[in-house]
Amino acid sequence: MSFKRTPIKELLKTTPTNQEVVVMGWVRTFRNNQFIALNDGSTIKTVQVVVDFENTDPALLKRITTGAAIKATGTLIESQGKGQTVEVKASEIHIFGDSDPEKYPLQPKKHSLEFLRENAHLRFRTNTFSAIFRIRHAVAFAIHAFFNDQDFCYMHSPIITGSDAEGAGEMFQVSVLPLNDIPKTEDGEVDFKKDFFNKATNLTVSGQLEAELAALALGKVYTFGPTFRAENSNTTRHLAEFWMIEPEVAFADLTDNMDLAEDMLKYVIKYCLDNCADDLEFLENRLIQEDKSKPTAERAEMSLTDKLTFCMDNDFERVTYTEAFNILRNCKPNKKKKFQYVLDEWGADLQSEHERFLVEKHFKKPVILTDYPKDIKAFYMRQNDDGTTVAAMDILFPGIGEIIGGSQREERLDRLTQRMEEMDIPTDEMSWFMDTRRFGTCPHAGYGLGFERLVLFITGMSNIRDVIPFPRFPGSAEF
């Protein structure tokens, strides 16, 4: 059997001239023993396949059920129905795989997102999740296209690492030691000398440090790969396994870093608006229907496409942490203690509620915060001349808060060493990283973008577990 076929996405753009076509896909609905709504994943739309039920084996008709995989051969004709321009008048139907309607979980009705998370192996077949994952693909493609156009070199950073880039300590350990008989040293510590790598190793939390090594030779690099955090966090914004994009640029400062990040976000959003119109329209209508059940005060102020266009068309507001802190400390929600985390003293780490207030209520545009207190930032960020802040930047978006975090890196060996000692980062274990400051150091900068958070923003979804195929979080590593 030949598997040559026309994707439904292309078929729907074709002018019908009674040409013979072949389509393959999965049955969404089958009405009146005559009308099949067929989807093949190439688009959110279905094509109608019309069956000559009077001349079709009744046993075959019974097998055309929701979820069944079929091949339809027939004539492409102009459709007389509403909402469609073409349809396929079938001359032959072949069923590849049956779908028992008594057992198939995804019958043609509305399913809750929680139900679909529990059936994540099948949720790709729904309109909502097929749209999300086509957009996820588009976002990934656009990111690679952007950096390629900017002459960046794509670098694969290690997944297994002996370093902790964030100094967070919440990492997944990698070991082949037997858990029921762990070898110990004379001091009673785990004897990692007997482990696979002869040392303690973990799943990476970031590819940044390795990207710095490459940038200080290749000039402009970026990583795009999985990262892991062992935080016991059951929230709508956190995952244990997620993907990160981390560019690093030699001979660049904080301003260059902000320009690059803003340009990249606008490029990706424009690409999705230009290439994912049908999927975005579906998700936007879904959000509109969802909003109708909410109190007026909780409804979105902008539609999904308006929000995306808003971020693409506006220059991002650039303000220092100190300026933002003063705005927040003096705002009504803070004074009236309506924030969950009331701000009082300079140096406090800003929470999502503070970030969203700045974006959605105060500036009413995307915001880039710069020059954070050094005590709440990582050891590798360049220290400013004031001795209390670092050349860091976070980009804040409506509805989500922080979407990018980055900085100019500390290129001065003495200042880096001092900061590492202050934060108890072992300099002997990080000698390989410090060599870049010993030999040919230069100003350089970079940032990290949580891929799922960007997909969350572009799709308008509210739970990060719905924008990654198989979410990993505390208590769950299914499939």
Q: Per-residue pLDDT averaged across 420-433, rounded?
A: 89
Query: Measured between alpha carbons, how far is 246 from 333 in angstroms, rounded to an integer?
Result: 35
Residue 264: CA count within 13 A, CB half-sphere: 30
* DSSP-derived 3-state class of residue 162: coil
Q: What is the pLDDT confidence band of residue 298, given thresholds at 50, 70 and 90?
A: confident
Quick one: pLDDT at residue 217?
97
Q: Per-residue pLDDT averaged across 432-441, rounded?
A: 94
* DSSP-derived 3-state class of residue 9: helix
Of the candidates 274, 276, 269, the residue with the CA atom closest to the CA atom of residue 44: 276
Quick one: pLDDT at residue 476?
83
Check whether 164 has a pLDDT greater than 90: no
**Least confident window among 271-285, 362-376, 425-439, 445-459:** 425-439
Query: Measured between alpha carbons, how far is 184 from 428 in angstroms, rounded to an integer?
Result: 23
Quick one: pLDDT at residue 402?
92
Residue 237 or residue 141, greater confidence: 141
Virtual torsion, Cα 390, 393, 396, 402, nearest 10 deg: -70
Longest dimension (CA), the chain: 85
User: Which residue ranges make up each domain of the chain?
Assistant: 8-106, 125-170+205-466
- The three-point CA angle 164-168-170 to 5° equals 90
Quick one: pLDDT at residue 1?
65
Contact predicate 6/42, CB 8 Å? no
Mean pLDDT of the chain: 93
Kindly report, residue by residue over 19-77, the tens digit of the pLDDT: 999 999 999 999 999 999 999 999 999 999 999 999 999 999 999 999 999 999 999 99
Q: What is the CATH number of domain 125-170+205-466?
A: 3.30.930.10
Structure tokens at 62: 């019974």
Residue with tokens 């026309």: 6
Contact predicate 383/415, CB 8 Å? yes
Virtual torsion, Cα 304, 305, 306, 309, nearest 10 deg: 130
Query: Measured between alpha carbons, how far is 470 from 476 in angstroms, rounded to an integer?
Result: 10
Q: Per-residue pLDDT averaged across 191-214, rounded?
A: 93
Quick one: pLDDT at residue 70?
97
Virtual torsion, Cα 195, 196, 200, 206, nearest 10 deg: -160
Give 313: exposed, middle or buried? Use CB within 10 Å, 0-12, 13-18, 19+. Answer: exposed
Instruction: Give the whole-number percent of the chain exceeding pLDDT 70.
Output: 99
Starting at the edge strand found earlier in the chain, the sheet holding 160-161 runs 160-161, 201-203, 173-174
Residue by residue, DSSP assigns 358-426 as IIIIII-S-EEEEEEEGGGS-TTBPBPTTSSEEEEEEEEETTTEEEEEEEEB---HHHHHHHHHHTT--
| Continuous H helices in 153-241 | 208-218
Measured in degrees and rounded to the nearest 5, phi and psi for residue 308 equal: -65, -45
Q: Per-residue pLDDT averaged across 344-349, rounded?
A: 94
Quick one: pLDDT at residue 156?
96
Kindly report, residue by residue over 305-337, the tens digit of the pLDDT: 999 998 999 999 999 999 999 999 999 999 999
Number of Cβ within a 10 Å radius of residue 431: 10
Pairing status of strand 241-250 against strand 317-320 = unpaired
- Using the CB atoms, write b or e for 50-76: b if 16+ within 10 Å: bbeeeebeeeeeebbbbbbbbbbbbbb
Chain centre to alpha carbon of residue 257: 21
Homologous superfamily of 8-106: Nucleic acid-binding proteins (2.40.50.140)
**Least confident window among 10-14, 28-32, 111-115, 439-443:** 111-115
Q: What is the pLDDT confidence band of residue 242, given thresholds at 50, 70 and 90?
A: very high
Kindly report, residue by residue over 247-297, the tens digit of the pLDDT: 999 999 999 999 999 999 999 999 999 999 999 999 999 999 988 888 887
Check whether 92 has a pLDDT greater than 70: yes
